[in-house]
Amino acid sequence: MAEVHQYRQAIDWLFSTQMFGIKLGLEGPRRLLTHALAHPAAGVRVIHVAGTNGKGSTCAMIDAVARAAGMRTGLFTSPHLIDYRERIRVCGIKIPEAACAERLAKLREICAGLDPHPTFFEITLALAMRWFRECECELIILETGMGGRLDATTAVEADVCVITPVGLDHTQWLGDTLEKIAAEKAGILVPGKPCVSAPQEPAAAGVIEREANERRCPLEFIAAPLRGYHVALAGACQRWNAALAVQALHLAGARLSPDIVRHGLGNVDWPARFERFDGGRVILDGAHNVQAAQALARTWEEAYPDEKAALVFSAVAAKDVSGILEQLAPLAGRIFLCPVDTPRALPTDELAACLPAGAPAHECHASFGEAFAAARATGHRVLIAGSLFLAGEARGFLVGEEYQPSAQ
């Protein structure tokens, strides 16, 4: 019980640092990584992944295939869905609670002497990098939190950079045009180190090419999705992510064979990406921007072409909620709106105001539990989508685990 208490105390302190907000910049994270002795050891390879959509799935595939090849991997992703420790994994295993608590206590001491105080995300990155070093990981996979150029993860110099599809998201931080956002994503490029990108809109592709040329980075764009292999994650977009993942590993010097790739992709696990529960009667997807909603709609129509969903939906402020609902509403026979557990949650009346003309009938509920129960009562297949906060709360409910809300 003492260990559980220590972990709770450590997590409570860490989540209290969210009051320091988001600080884009590399000086703070570099300083914290140095104080925490958390930079990668010599010879450790780092793959850094940025983009608007598909980052987490691509990171998970890189990790799964690398582990199939016998590599000792460290995987850093964000946000978490249910449990904070999902963000930090070694060979697929979450950092243990005791190890997490002990290292956060040390980081708390370090942070007390730093001004400005490190942010939640910077501390989490330092914790991950320290744990990966102690566990002697030989390959580290880092998912950017937001953007790239000034994201804390860019304080760790990468050997290979990956850019997934770029779209309009986090515009209040990254810029209001595709070109501006692409420039932020391409900011992860390291002079002289290779980069592989998903196919991009011409405006974004041009920016990425320019940044690569200025930094003398060998750059290639994936020309086709990976075929001939079963990918455990549903949807055509995942075959493009798989092609990115495999090429990134080749560029990192991993020794792969068809059997290794087949085993890794066939066993990759990344929750809340068209994840099925109750024999497929419940589908959970964290689609939280327009691109992700488009991908979800295509996957639904591929899987259930003549079927309407009971859609449970929620979203947070600063998202293009109307654009997301424009993609998802046609999938639904009825829509069930609910709030999510974050200060950024939109009230259900504001969600309803974002429904497109001609949308099916909707209901407003006070909680996810109420909305889900009403959706199940229709007898239709239930689709839960619209926010990663909703995905986390829903997944916790569906698997019976305690949900730890994530603000970042």
Q: Mark the ranges of the chain whose per-residue pLDDT is less than 70.
A: 1-2, 169-175, 405-408
Question: Phi and psi (nearest 5°) for 292?
Answer: -65, -40
Contact between 178 and 168 (Cβ < 8 Å): yes
In angstroms, the CA 287 to CA 383 distance is: 11
DSSP 246-312: HHHHHHTT----HHHHHHHHHT---TTSSEEEGGGTEEE----SHHHHHHHHHHHHHHSTT--EEEE
**Residue 5, pLDDT score:** 83
List pLDDT tens digits, range 5-35. 899 999 999 999 987 777 778 999 999 999 9
In angstroms, the CA 14 to CA 10 distance is: 6
Question: Phi and psi (nearest 5°) for 94?
Answer: -60, 150
- How many CA atoms lie less than 13 Å away from 191 in the CB half-sphere? 2
- pTM for the complete prediction? 0.95
In angstroms, the CA 392 to CA 402 distance is: 10
In angstroms, the CA 182 to CA 69 distance is: 32
Over the range 60-96, which residues count as b (16 or more CB within 10 Å of their CB) and which as e? Answer: bbbbbbbbbbebebbbbbbbbbbbbbbbbbbeeebbe
Closest CA to 288 of 252, 216, 342, 333: 342
In angstroms, the CA 247 to CA 163 distance is: 12
* Domains of the chain from N-terminus onward: 2-266 (3.40.1190.10), 275-399 (3.90.190.20)
In angstroms, the CA 143 to CA 218 distance is: 21
Closest CA to 145 of 160, 155, 137: 155
